[in-house]
Structure 1
Amino acid sequence: MSLIRLFRRDPSSTPLPYTASPLLLFFRDILLLLRYSWALPGILLPLRLGHTTPLDELYLSFGSLISFLVQVVLTIAQIAFLVSIPLMVIFQLPAFWIFVYIAIALALNYAVCMFVLNGFERILVSNVPEPKQQGHEGECWFFINGVANSQYWLQNNIDQLAYSFGRKITGIHNRTAGLIFDLIECLIQRCFSYATGDIRSAYYLLKRELLNPNCDKVVMILHSQGGIEGSLVIDWLLDELPQDLLHKLEVYTFGNAANHFNNPRQSSTCQPIVRSIGHIEHYANSQDAVSHLGVLHFTNVPNRYLGRLFIRPGSGHMMNQHYLDNMFTLGPDHKVLESNEFMDMEVDMTWSESDKLLNKRDENREMTLLPIPNIEISNSSESRQSNGTQAWRVKDFSRLWQYRNGGTPGRAPGLRQENDRSLL
């Protein structure tokens, strides 16, 4: 029986606090990148070129081909640029000409990215017609994309999200500067808590809607580097907004690259435990290198990475092609199918003696079942409980799944979560 553990890690590999020295964090992140270099090919695999849909990143359309080819050229050029600078210093070229060379290279890179990949609009809205359903009037949904995302790909992301959940999706464009420069930006954002323009835009939009009395729910969906940006936005919101407004916020991440995700308890004496943000869920592919650098590496550090975690056995990091297509599969009518391999996987609730000790001393864990288990996901029918009781599946624990096709989450029977209101 093949099982993927969701809540277990080697205690000896506890990462540095995210508030540690930025330079030390930067150094440790480089080592972490080398540690998980084996998983880097899994970012683009499987390609599925014969089974892609028009909204997938590698679908053979003009926009996708331009986005992909320009990123390939930029990646080669940026590697050559970074290698050339120390060589120029070694050969003692005049400092003036080195600075001129750097300025011209960065200006050309910026021009290509802005005019070919990014465009000049930072905020995009889904082009999918909204279904006429009651109860969505007070909801605001936002999406922040990951690295190397052109405006064309971002539009496809928010359109597929709109089809999947039956809501208008506002995309906040995390503009690309080319893959290599994007990765450097990730390290700077993550280690130095540096707020780029898209982070400030996201903070402004979310804060505005959380303060809006006509908005009763704000949903933020994050992918890859968007997880880093979203975690910084949350830190700012926790600093400034009252708890009752923050509880309107729900966060769902895919391939999250952040090194922390905060959601403090409203009160140390509150039972059942109620946290500031209404709900947080993380979705990750088990062989996704970015997930290993983020959510899968940090999630079990106490009070470091709050939220429920779902791991899908498999590789791939692209939002539509590897995450949404597998977890919220669309049918020919652009409706989410009621069954897919991941959501139908059985959940086996078991826990070891060491896990019991961990759970006893860690009273602030985000996810609590009764009793507190380790959760394992299995794609084997052998995990069905032999005593005849109901076999729980991934879809029974996923709140985001209940939003599919314009739905609204309800209460799951027989279980409870620390984040009250309902399990899901």
Structure 2
Amino acid sequence: MGSSATDDKATSDKATANGPPAPAPAPATKATANGPPASPKFPIASWDVQYIIQQSNGPFLFQQSPWKLLCRDLRYTASTFWQLPDIFLPLSDTGGDIRLTGIIAQVLMLVISLVLAVLIVLGALGVAPLLLVLAVLATVVFVRVASALQGASTRQSKADVPSAVNADKEKWLFVNGICTTGSGAQSNVDRLQTLFHRPVTAVLNRSLGMLFDLGECILQRDYRLITQDIRVGYFALRDAVLDPKLERVVLIGHSQGGIIVTAMIDQLLAEFPHHVLKKVEIYTFASAANHICDPSGGTPDSPPPFGHIEHFANQGDWVSQFGVLGHAPLPPGDTPNIIAEEEKDGEVATFPMTDGEFAGRIFERLNHTGHLLNSHYNSILDNPVVRKYSRLATYLDGGNPVP
């Protein structure tokens, strides 16, 4: 989940019967870095996941049937649905994500989609065969009209901020989350441009209301359906990778956008040699995906293909538990790195390394709920630990990381 209204090593063979396992809570330790101390209420736990190439079960996409993945996700949802309200909490400053027009649009689309779904089910059961035909036609019209009203499939950020040095040699792409319309995606990329001082292109993950959006998430996550937004995003990403003038390609996904980003990078790995992908960096917030591929031979001679991968999650965010935190947990007995108060200037923390199929560095904000991008996730970049150890944070205010 993102703006406008609201948004949205554990692989399938390691998941629990009720879905992705929740990470064990870590002690609240005050963190420090080059700046004021972070609030002891919300320390950052961090660890690295190295993508492991399965020797026996094969690639993640072919390990289990989509039906098994779907059943696992439904079991997890049924056992944890009471946590869903936490995706909106805390309510402070949610004006950046929740607007009256967005609420009205989402309520209307939800009502329409529920009516259409009931009519389709009744028609399919043979109650009224003609009703099925009319309901399907009405659904097609609804999808066409709702999509058209949300505008172009991509849009450019419009924030009035100075551009970072060499911003013309970079391409930043963003994919929004569930229940986000065109205006919400515009708000997201405007905020990202304000933070990083780079133009950001939004790949619009159009919303058709909560019911249809959740159905699309299932099809994309468990059935690997390549939807229009995935195709549009991939063409934009592919063009950026092929552009010789670009030295850096940054791909950001939020919520359902994490699922879409996953599909896009899976295709990159299928199409491009690894050395071409080094300029691609991947960052997700509250990713709802169940894997992130970044294969390597595990040796210096065979490094991972992508330049960098990071994921940000709130411990109490249901979507993060369903996605990144559920599929990239620490092995039993390991302790996540929490930068201690006594860390001295010049010291560099080490991070636990685990093997899994959700590659990248994980930054988990403990004791914190919330799923909305502007309201609940932009602030994680202000944490001193994140400022010190996150590559994405080095881009703030137009900065540039050391290559």
Pair in the same fold by TM > 0.5: yes
Which residue is 2:310 aligned to?
A: 281
- How many Å separate the matches in 1 of 2:295 and 2:365? 27
- Aligned identity (percent) is 34
Question: By how many angstroms is 1:268 displaced?
Answer: 4.1
- How many Å separate the matches in 2 of 1:5 and 1:402? 19
Aligned residues: 328
Which residue is 2:54 aligned to?
A: none
- How many Å separate the matches in 1 of 2:242 and 2:135? 47
Alignment of 1:94 with 2:86, yes or no, is no
Matches within 5 A, 1:57-72: 57-58=97-98, 64-72=99-107
* Cα contact 1:110–1:177 (8 A) shared by 2: no
Matches within 5 A, 1:378-417: 393-410=385-402
- How many Å separate the matches in 2 of 1:142 and 1:57? 19
Alignment of 1:294 with 2:305, yes or no, is no
1:57 partner amino acid = D
Given candidates 155, 159, 170, the residue that maps to 1:124 is 155
Question: By how many angstroms is 1:165 displaced?
Answer: 0.2
Matches within 5 A, 1:3-402: 17-19=60-62, 20-48=64-92, 51-52=93-94, 56-58=96-98, 64-87=99-122, 92-108=126-142, 110-115=144-149, 118-119=150-151, 121-265=152-296, 267-270=297-300, 274-300=303-329, 302-313=355-366, 314-324=368-378, 326-328=379-381, 340=382, 343-344=383-384, 393-402=385-394
* Cα contact 1:147–1:174 (8 A) shared by 2: yes
Partner-residue secondary structure (3-state), 1:131: coil
* Cα contact 1:42–1:287 (8 A) shared by 2: yes
Q: For structure 2, list consecutive stretches of 5 or more residues without a partner in the other structure.
A: 1-26, 30-43, 49-58, 330-353
RMSD: 2.4
- How many Å separate the matches in 2 of 1:401 and 1:288? 21
1:320 partner amino acid = N
Which residue is 1:332 aligned to?
A: none
Deviations 1:280-302 (A, max 9, x none): 00001111111111101101383
Q: TM-score, normalised by structure 1?
A: 0.72
Partner-residue secondary structure (3-state), 1:317: coil
Question: By how many angstroms is 1:105 displaced?
Answer: 4.2
- How many Å separate the matches in 2 of 1:37 and 1:302? 29
Question: By how many angstroms is 1:83 displaced?
Answer: 4.1
Higher RCO, 1 or 2 (CA under 8 Å, sep at least 6)?
Answer: 2
Q: Are residues 113 and 235 of structure 1, via their aligned partners in 2, closer, same or farther at CA, if it must alter by over 3 Å?
A: closer
* Cα contact 2:163–2:398 (8 A) shared by 1: no
- How many Å separate the matches in 2 of 1:160 and 1:289? 24
- How many Å separate the matches in 1 of 2:163 and 2:360? 31
Which residue is 1:386 aligned to?
A: none
Q: For structure 1, list consecutive stretches of 5 or more residues without a partner in the other structure.
A: 9-15, 59-63, 329-339, 345-392, 411-420
- How many Å separate the matches in 2 of 1:227 and 1:30? 19
Question: By how many angstroms is 1:409 displaced?
Answer: 1.1
